[in-house]
Amino acid sequence: MISEKFKAAILKELKLSDFEIQDSTLASQVPGWDSLNHINVIVAIEKEFGVRFKSIEVLKCKNIGDLQKLVNTKLNQ
């Protein structure tokens, strides 16, 4: 399940006032989340949650729910 803090970090980085994000949402479905902004979104999430991702971890994420699970895993280590 997508947390409000996680959603807020994405929306803030993409300068969106509101957008419905579900576990199954793909990055390509979010307005403004393109290949250029992808790194910015990942860095914003890292800063917001105080975590660091390895490139391979991010590449394994198939949707936004997977990225949320990755954050949760990092926070529980």
Number of domains in the chain: 1
pLDDT in tens, the chain (77 residues): 999 999 999 999 999 999 999 999 999 999 999 999 999 999 999 999 999 999 999 999 999 999 999 999 999 98
Q: What is the pLDDT of residue 77?
A: 83
* Euclidean distance between CA atoms 44 and 41, whole angstroms: 5
The pLDDT, as a whole number, for residue 34 is 96
- The CATH number linked to 27 is 1.10.1200.10
Phi, psi dihedral angles at 9 (to 5 degrees)? -65, -40
CA angle 57, 62, 74 (to 5 degrees): 35
Which amino acid is present at 42? I
